[in-house]
Each structure stands twice: as structure tokens, then as C-alpha cells.
Amino acid sequence: MKKVLSIIFLGLCAFAGIQAGEGSSEVTARSGRPADTQLLRATDLEDEALALEGVKAALAAGADIEAPCSELAQTPLMYAARRGFTTVVDHLLACGAKVNAQSDGWTALMQAATQHKVETVKTLLAHKADPNLVSGTGCTALGLLIELGKKIGPDLHRSEEAKATIILLLEAGIAIDAPAYRDYTPLELAALYDDEWMVTKFLEYNPNILQADSSSRTVFDSVRSSKIAKLLLDRVLASTADVNQRAKNGETLLMLAAKSGCADTVKVLLDKGANILLTTTTSPYRTAIAMVKTPEVTAILENTLGLFASAQSGHSESAEKELVQGARVNARDNFGMTPLMYAAAKGCTPIVDAILKTTDVELNYRNINDQTAYMLAAINDHTAIADTLKAAGAEITADDLKKIAELAREKAEK
């Protein structure tokens, strides 16, 4: 009976033209057994229906369902998956093919995913194919889909079939923070290729945006546009009240925004009271301004730093110029001080007045000594400025008044 089935299968192969040296006729089984070779050639045919009949005949003739080919060591399931022959894949799995078998680390799922064979991917996942298995070069099915698609054609990984495949892999439980291609996570790959759809889709699965690899690289080192950077930073800001939060490599949100050229986010962070003078955890000299790559962000940071200096020294003309050029009045320094606090402590009425004319100035920030701009003015006997701040809406608690009185008494005793 097996001999008869083998003859039938060879007839099918001849009908497909593969005995004439076309396509899969070059595929041979590593075992050298004719039935194994027949099975492999059947899974690599151009016609799915013919392939299915050939597979059935070869298996009935005693072919090894896991028989690897002589060169690439791919199994029949891998060939069928790459072709997108869902009926063949389903039959092989029903007959006992190992869904997670690997050849050089590659699986049938990787083969189907890189070819965007949506229905085949569905079938493999339904049979418990593992989307987190890694190839010999450190790549998952998702990573290979993105990277190989990019290399073959700039927009291939943006096709509707590719998107559908990506969604299937995500829904199957991709480890979103694990490397997908070499050391790159899915989010890093999406940022690297400036793919807004992928970044947005990956963010739905709550990746750790601030993680860093062993080389201290974060996703922001892969970002190619401020638009993508803003998407990422907006997500972080929506989940934390700490505007000085650091990534795992020690860089603050302000640094990440600055080096990504994300001017709007730099403004938002400074307006929320971000510390403009914080340095990285690895260098006492690398502040946000040391990482800037665009003129717009440079101007924002330089004018803000200039306003701090002007408020501390009382140079009102410089301060007014810096305010006009976009200095952010709510930025803070290592002492928790703002330009308004310095101007109030210095007694520089023109600078205080100029800052109060800006939009959304924060009157009630407290420095590391729990002092507000109003308290600093009162403590230093700048009564007119204190009254101006009070009239502008500064909050004054009973504890604040008690502290002011205590400091005034200590000052008098000296």
C-alpha cells in the first residue's frame, strides 16, 4: 500500500513540474529516505490543494513528519507555514508535528509571521505556538517580521497583513519588554523605524518605556522624530506625578525630551516644575542642556537658565529679555527654587512683576526648606513684594506666618 501511495505522490509531483528541476525539486531530506523527501517537496509546492494531497500521500507512505531538509534543516511544518498553506499546517499539526520545533532557532511561527501569513499564524497560535521563542540570532517572530520587512521593502512591515500579524502576536502574549531583534525591544524597533502605528499599538500593551539595556540604551536612543518622542513622553507623564523621574540609565524625563528634540514636552516639564539642573547618575556634568540636539530646545533651556541668573543677580533688563524669548518661569533648580523665588528673596520688584505677568506662574512652590516666594520676600523684609504676591493669590498658612515670625525674631536677636 505504501508503495502505491508513493507512486501516486510522485505522479502528483510530476504534474506540478517539480521533477523537471523547478522550485521544490531541489529539496531533499537529510535522512535520504524517499518518503521524507517527498513530504518536504509536497509542503514546498506552489498549489495548496496539491500540497495537501501530497502531504497525505507521503505520510501514508511512512514519511517522518519531522524530517528536516538536507540544507536548511527546516521541517515540513516550517515549509508549509512559510507558504501560508493553512490547511497543510493544520493537517501536519493534527498528525503530530511539533509546533515549536526549531531549525537554527527558527520556528514555523517565525516562518509564517515574516511572510505575513495571517491565517497560518492564527492556526499555529491556536495550537500553542510560542511567540516568545528566540532564533539562533536572538530574534522573536515579531522582531523578525519588523526587521526583515524593513530590509526587503521600506513599507513592507506597514502592510495591512503585517499589521494583522503583529496584532495576533501581541494578543498571544508577546513579552513586550524583552528583546525582539538582537537587543532591541519591539518598542525600540518601532521607534527606530519611526512607525507611529506600531509605537501606538505597542503602548497599548504597557511596555516599560524607561527601561534601559546593559549598554544604558533606552527607547529614546532609537527615536528618529520628536513626534514619536512626544508619544512616549506623554504616556510617561500620564502615569506619573514625578516630573523628575529617571529612566533606568539615570536620565531624567527632561533630558530624554531635550535629546529627542521634543520642544513641547520640554516646556511642559519645566512648566510642571522640573529641575533644570539635575545631572545624570553617571556624570556630575551632564544636564539636560548638554544633551540638546535642536536650536528650539537649546533656546528654551538657555533662556530659562538665563532667567535664573538674572533673578539671582537682580538684572531686570536681562530677565525681561529672557522672558520674551521663552524662559519657563516654573522651572526649578537643585534647591527647589524658581526664578520668582530668587527675585522675591533678592527684592527685585521689576523681575517679580514681569514674571507675574506670564501665564500660569506657580506662586506656591516650596523650596527644600519648605519656603514659598511670599515667605522669602517677607523673611528678607521686602514687604511690598510680599504684598504683591499675596494680592496675586499666594497661599499663606498659619505655619508659614509662624515660621516668618520665628526667623524675624532670630534675625533681630543677631
**Which of 3.40.50.150, 3.40.50.300, 2.40.50.360, 1.25.40.20 would CATH assign to domain 294-414?**
1.25.40.20
Pairwise CA distance, residues 389 & 343, whole Å:
12
- 104/96: higher pLDDT: 96
DSSP 15-71: HHTGGGT-GGGG--BTT--HHHHHHHHHHT-S-HHHHHHHHHHHHHTT--TTPPBTT
**pLDDT of 93 above 70:** yes
- 364/411: higher pLDDT: 364
Which grid coordinates are listed for 266? Answer: 520640554
Pairwise CA distance, residues 270 & 263, whole Å:
11
Q: What's the confidence (pLDDT) of residue 22?
A: 32
| Record: fold of 1-156 | 1.25.40
**pLDDT of 215 above 90:** no
Which grid coordinates are listed for 177? Answer: 519588554
Which grid coordinates are listed for 17? Answer: 513540474
Which grid coordinates are listed for 285? Answer: 556634568
Angle between helices 383-392 and 339-346 (to 10 degrees): 140
Three-state DSSP at 246 gives strand
**pLDDT of 26 above 70:** yes
Q: What residues contact residue 365 under an 8 Å CB cut-off, 6+ apart? A: 273, 330, 332, 336, 338, 341, 372, 373
Task: Kindly report which listed range (16-30, 95-109, 165-179, 186-200) carries the lowest average pLDDT score.
Answer: 16-30
For residue 353, how far is the Cα from the chain centroid?
Answer: 43
CA neighbor of 341 nearest in space, from 315, 368, 313, 372: 372
The alpha-helical segments, DSSP class H, found in 244-314 are: 253-259, 263-271, 295-313
pLDDT tens per residue, range 111-164: 999 999 999 999 999 999 999 999 988 999 999 999 887 665 556 567 899 999
Instruction: Check if the beta carbon of residue 64 is closer than 8 Å to that of residue 31.
Output: yes
Q: What's the confidence (pLDDT) of residue 213?
A: 86
The alpha-helical segments, DSSP class H, found in 205-338 are: 226-239, 253-259, 263-271, 295-313, 316-324
Please, is 89 exposed, middle or buried when counting C-beta atoms within 10 Å of its C-beta (0-12, 13-18, 19+)?
A: buried
The residues with which 332 forms a beta bridge, in sequence order, are 275
**pLDDT of 7 above 70:** no
Looking only at Cα atoms, what is the longest distance across the chain? Answer: 114
Q: Does domain 223-293 fall into CATH 1.25.40.20?
A: yes
Q: For the chain, give the percent of residues with pLDDT over 90.
A: 81
Domain boundaries, the chain: 1-156, 223-293, 294-414
The residues with which 275 forms a beta bridge, in sequence order, are 332
**Percentage helix, strand, coil for the chain under 3-state DSSP, each rounded to 5:** 55, 5, 40
pLDDT tens per residue, range 323-379: 999 999 999 999 999 999 999 999 999 999 999 999 899 999 999 999 999 999 999
| Mean pLDDT rounded to a whole number for the chain | 91
CA neighbor of 83 nearest in space, from 58, 108, 55: 108
Question: Buried (b) or exposed (e) across 46-63, using 16+ Cβ within 10 A?
Answer: eeeeebbbbbbbbbbbeb
Q: What's the confidence (pLDDT) of residue 154?
A: 57
Which grid coordinates are listed for 249? Answer: 540609565
Q: What's the confidence (pLDDT) of residue 164?
A: 96
Residues in the chain: 414
Question: Buried (b) or exposed (e) across 293-323, using 16+ Cβ within 10 A?
Answer: ebeebeebbbbbbbbbebbbebbbebbbebb
